[in-house]
Amino acid sequence: MLRGDVERGIVEVVVAGPWTGRVRIDLAAAVRKALAEQPRALLLNLAAIEDADPAVLGAVLLAERRGAAAEPPVPVLVVAAEADRSQLQSTGVALRVPVYGAAAAAHADLDRRSPPLGRVALRLQPTVLGPSAARTFVGDTVLAWDLAPLLRAARLIVSELATNAVEHARTPFTVTASRRGTMLHLAVEDAEPTLPAVIEVTARREAPLEIRGNGLRIVAGTATAWGATRTDAGKVVWATLRTGSLP
């Protein structure tokens, strides 16, 4: 399971239950998905794995290599039960990947070692004015960060994400913009845990000009990458735009 922490800029991958070949494959896919978000750090929470298995070591090393290959590199931290921590330490894996007994300890150590990402956030209510306020906020931020070439794309993406929050989540939501290496990271976080899905484009007979289903297609077609993860309070839907050689 993927769990996002927008404030810290961390994505947590939680693995629970017996370690099987299927779990190994799912973990590798989750790591790839998490790294696409260009997080400040990737936290592998393996504390709930049953029956320590030596294959866990390989999965941790693979995640570390993929994090190191990201641009910019994404540090990988591990939370593990005592048996797995012993394996990681005795084999030397812990020399490359920090290992902790609890997620809170990993978060605290990361905050000490690495300053939080430059980010701005705005809390909005689920009203018809919410998407417009989100567009203005992100547009002003992009210009303040000298990223004018990304202005149209950033405003378009956050408009669609905010509209979805208003229409489907119907809860207060938070719009966040972050600089993450060569990426501009945009996120909309709300209190509805159901993850969004791209649906078939439709129109209602009584309102043929009201096309439904285009929002996430627009986001997918505009962003460098996009996705959604659950949070402790609901979900966050995010998208990135590559800044390239921009300052």
Task: Dump pLDDT digits (tens) for 191-240.
Answer: 999 998 776 655 555 545 454 556 788 999 999 999 999 998 899 999 99
Q: What integer pLDDT is reported at residue 228 of this predicted model?
A: 92
Q: What integer pLDDT is reported at residue 247 of this predicted model?
A: 42
Torsions phi, psi for 202 (to 5 deg): -135, 165
Chain Cα centroid distance, residue 45: 15
What is the pTM assigned to this prediction? 0.73
Q: Which of 126, 130, 90, 115 is nearest to 40 (CA)?
A: 115
Q: Contact 7/185 with Cβ under 8 angstroms?
A: no
Q: What integer pLDDT is reported at residue 209 of this predicted model?
A: 41
Left, alpha or beta for 9 (phi > 0: left; psi -120 to 50: alpha)?
left
Q: What integer pLDDT is reported at residue 87 of this predicted model?
A: 81
Q: What integer pLDDT is reported at residue 12 of this predicted model?
A: 92
Q: Are strands 41-50 and 99-100 parallel, antiparallel or unpaired?
A: unpaired
Element (H, E) at 189: strand 183-190
Residues of the chain with pLDDT under 70: 52, 115-117, 199-214, 244-247
Q: What integer pLDDT is reported at residue 116 of this predicted model?
A: 62
| Domains of the chain from N-terminus onward | 2-113 (3.30.750.24), 119-242 (3.30.565.10)
Partners of 177 in beta bridges:
120, 186
Q: Residue 67 in 3-state DSSP?
A: helix
Q: What integer pLDDT is reported at residue 131 of this predicted model?
A: 94
Q: Which of 170, 158, 162, 169 is nearest to 240 (CA)?
A: 158
Q: How far apart are CA 90 and CA 97, in angstroms?
A: 13
